A and B are shown apart, each in its own frame.
Chain A
Amino acid sequence: MKSTGLYFKKFIFVSMLFAVLGLCLTPLAAQAEIKELNIGIGIDADTLNPQEQTTTLPQNMCDLMFDNFFFQDPEGKLHPRLATSYEVSTDGLTITLHLRKGVKFSDGTDFNADAVKLTWDRIFDPKMRVPLRFAVGMVKECVKTDDYTVALKLKYPFAPLAPTLSMSLVSPISPAAIEQYGDDVRQHPVGAGPYLLKEWVKGDRIVMVRNENYWGEKPTVAKITWKIVPETATREAMLRAGQIDICYKPLPSNVAALKADPNITVEMPLDTRTIFMGLNCQKGVTTDKKVRQAFNYAVDKKAIVNKILFGTAEPMSGPVSPKVFGYFQMDKQYEYNPEKAKQLLKEANFDFSKTVSMRTPQGRYLFDSQVSEAIQAYLQAIGVKAELRTYDWPTYVAGLLKPIEESELEVFLLGWGPLILDADMGLYGQFTCEVNPPKGLGAAFYCNPEYDTIMKASREEQNPEKRLQLLKQASEIVWDDAPWMWLHVEKFVIAYSSKIKGMVVTPTEKFYPHYITMQ
């Protein structure tokens, strides 16, 4: 009787132990189904039509609602999504896209070649407002081959077209939604992505719910609420108070404090966006290469990154971000060397009585005006008189696209963020003769025929290895010619609850929370 009682007591004890262990372990187990995820963001979307969108954050939302032909992962590898594969013709002038079968838009409309062609035709339509049309400017036509195949006809060979198709710019919209809403489809987005729009309260929140008919793996998050909180400090407070789960772009000055909080995870991968001081190569004192190089040596970029940007950037070590295909670290680095800068200015017979005109936007990039003020001080430290003017963005941008005869640009701060992980958008889009204003935004007016020949060859070259060599050659030329003061590459900072695991954050300032788990 005694032993039975003992066994019973042991049984009770072991059962309780398991129960306690079970209770202790439950919160640690990953929660596969998440009812709602709240994300604090700074701006409201102006449009949710992916073709009209220029800002990364609403493009991120569009990705979740529309999906993409391909997904470019943080390492730059392409994964099939709405397109399963592609082939490039031998002359490089046709790219054939094979579309995924059995996919439906969230309104039940079939996803097929007709839908894809309709989207492309809208992109080509000059009456449509497509601000990023230039990014697919090489495509002249979309031809339906069969129900699930389309051929994109190009004006000229363009090697990085496949990654270009990962942009939300070309994400197909439901033809039925276009028919029903016309241009107002921007308020009623219907795509083939993992989420669909449930509610959009202007200036307050955008609510998405899971598309139960999504062709791919079912997202773990049932509902995503994007809360519009313009003040960064409030966003951070909301994250700390548990009122949001993700804080988009917290203040750089608070990154250290957020990292120290055990309840918060901070991710800050290097971005594709490069910040630079453009130096006019065709007008003013900066036409001399030695002056441009001197200005590069005069500025302590590491100090700017550490003291002004709180480590949320990295000094440029090549003409494009290290995150893109075609990046090479340059052998010669423009290390901070004021003596060398003075020497170069002396060799260039620099006229120290002249005042260099600097201009900067305010509030467009991280600490943009403060960075410009620091550069002004560095230039003054080597004896260069510099006058800095600050503008709001609309005023600033108006001065960027003027032709050389009218341009007043001499030394100017600007940022350039390629939308795909390929060097072409940076090297071609900023430094070839054809992008000199007013045709493009190469506002430094850099024009070098040798460079142009290499860059054109890089677009035609389909072999990645050979293309890399061409991009390296071009990088070395432009790096030495220094049409920019090569400043820094920004980091994309995002903070979220440390309960969240499995967040995908990309160098194109996007994040994908739909397959996360919660601890």
Chain B
Amino acid sequence: MLNYLIKRLLSTVPVLIGISLLLFFMLRMLPGDPAQVLAGQMATPEEIENIRHQLGLDRPIYEQYAVYLNHLARFDLGRSARTQNPVIEEIWARLPNTILLAVVAISLACLFGIPAGIISAVRPYSWIDYFVTTTALFGMSMPVFWLGLMLVVVFSVILKWLPAGGTGGWQHVILPSFTLAAFVVAFIARMTRSTMLETLSQDFTTTARSKGLKEQTVIVKHALKNALIPIITVIGLQFGLLLGGAVLTETVFAWPGLGRLIVDSILARDYPMIQGTIHIFGLLYIMVNLAVDFIYAFVDPRIRYD
């Protein structure tokens, strides 16, 4: 197990180098001059040149990449071109918010999605199944932006129960996490339903039933346990996406997370900040995948990482 962990951790290095390579050159292919954006609309060519020099953008591109890799190897993500603060400080100020929102949202999604999927699979083509699948369809097709604003109108403006945006206490987390969970819960419910339907029709389920086991035991201990692997995979993938892709929810609810930071940075062509944030996203995604792999081993004893 330990060997596997070390191997997997070592394998993140080439992945991160790959990300850095792609990111570095793709960013520089984007039209727009970061020095000009930073210098402002009314800057003189000399001032723009001065900023270009300060940012090291006047060096040959391979040299820029070498400097960047060198800094990266020392865990130095550089300074933001826009705010001139260390990138790591800017990320660190927002990362806990992003993680908190993603964790609460994925927990809510599991809490509602898995039981809904099970119920739906146990009573296929019943009214409850139709209710769950239709609700899931709505959840998946509803634009996050619209749902978020509707929740704000109902719970903040009309009922005045919850804050419309910002951070502060637990009340601030409710609306953004529900909005974010809406899509994921639908996805998890549908996935649970289809995998459960498959396992419920397997021979081992029939055997369990013929042994005279309680239906509850058959569903939870036999069917669900065997259906869990694809569900966990989906949850892992969705969690990874939530960590990096909650831009719209963060915007609607004024939630100071990494999603908004990266959009602002792209609009300002803030290369160090974009690079730093994407690297953190990459790292988080790798970690989530690793965690998912280990959870497989707990769920299915046949999976071993020796």
Contacts and interface: CB of A to CB of B under 8 A. Distances in A.
B164 A241 contact: yes
A126 B43 CA distance: 12
Nearest to A131: B40
Contacts of A395: 30-32
Given A234-B152, A394-B269, A397-B37, A227 B32 contact: no
Contact of A46 (B39, B82, B153, B269): B82
B157 interface: yes
A231 B160 contact: no
Contacts of B51: 129
B37 A241 contact: no
B164 A238 contact: yes
A280 interface: no
Contact of B156 (A127, A134, A241, A438): A241
Interface stretch (B194-202, B254-262, B281-289): B254-262
B165 A183 contact: no
A502 interface: no
Contacts of A440: 42
A234 B267 contact: no
A243 interface: yes
Contacts of B82: 46
A202 B166 contact: no
B253 A234 contact: yes
Contacts of B257: 203
B26 to A, nearest CB: 15
Interface in B58-84: 82-84
B36 interface: yes
- Counting contact residues on chain B (CB < 8 A from A), the size range is 35 or more
A157 B29 CA distance: 45
Contacts of A238: 156, 163-165
A86 interface: no
A318 B153 CA distance: 42
A441 B47 CA distance: 14
Contact of A183 (B30, B43, B84, B166): B84
A439 B45 CA distance: 7
A233 B256 contact: no
Contacts of A201: 93, 167, 256
Nearest to B153: A237
A229 B166 contact: yes
Interface in A207-248: 227-231, 233-234, 237-238, 240-243
Contact of B157 (A54, A133, A230, A241): A241
B256 A204 contact: yes
Contacts of B40: 54, 131-132
A356 B40 CA distance: 28
A170 B41 CA distance: 19
Contacts of A205: 166
Most buried by B among A127, A186, A202, A233: A202
A398 B33 contact: yes
Most buried by B among A126, A130, A240: A240
Contacts of A393: 37, 267
B152 A237 contact: yes
Contacts of B90: 202
Contacts of A127: 50
Interface in B5-55: 30-34, 36-48, 50-51, 54
Interface in A411-443: 429, 438-441
A418 to B, nearest CB: 11
Nearest to A393: B267
A392 B267 contact: yes
Contacts of B269: 394
A48 B152 CA distance: 31
A237 B156 contact: yes
Given A203-B256, A238-B156, A401 B45 contact: yes
Nearest to B89: A202
A47 B157 CA distance: 33
A242 B157 CA distance: 9
B94 interface: yes
A186 B85 CA distance: 9
A243 B46 CA distance: 46
A243 B156 contact: yes
B268 interface: yes
Contacts of A130: 47
B83 A237 contact: no
A203 B261 contact: yes
Contacts of B163: 238, 243
A473 interface: no
Contact of A134 (B42, B94, B164, B253): B42
A131 B164 contact: no
B166 A441 contact: no
A233 B149 contact: yes
Given A46-B83, A129-B51, A234 B36 contact: no
A453 interface: no
A242 B161 CA distance: 12
Nearest to A238: B164
Given A131-B47, A229-B165, A397 B156 contact: no
Contacts of B157: 237, 240-241
B47 A241 contact: no
Given A129-B38, A227-B166, A394-B267, A438 B260 contact: no
B36 A202 contact: no
Contacts of B164: 234, 237-238, 241, 243
B242 interface: no
A132 B43 CA distance: 7
B252 interface: yes
Contacts of A46: 82-83
Contact of A47 (B50, B83, B160): B83
Contacts of B85: 187
Given A46-B83, A230-B251, A203 B156 contact: no
Nearest to B163: A243
Contacts of B38: 129, 131
Most buried by B among A186, A201, A228, A401: A401
A394 B33 contact: yes
A441 B42 contact: yes
Contact of B93 (A126, A131, A186, A203): A203
Nearest to A128: B50
A313 B84 CA distance: 35
Most buried by B among A46, A130, A392: A46
Nearest to B80: A46
Contacts of B167: 201, 204
Interface string A378-411: 0000000000000111110110110000000000
Contacts of B54: 129
7 contacts: A126-B50, A133-B44, A240-B157, A392-B267, A394-B37, A429-B42, A439-B45
4 nearest A-B pairs in the assembled complex, by CB-CB distance: A394-B32, A131-B40, A203-B256, A229-B254
Given A134-B43, A233-B152, 4 more contacts: A205-B166, A394-B36, A401-B45, A429-B42
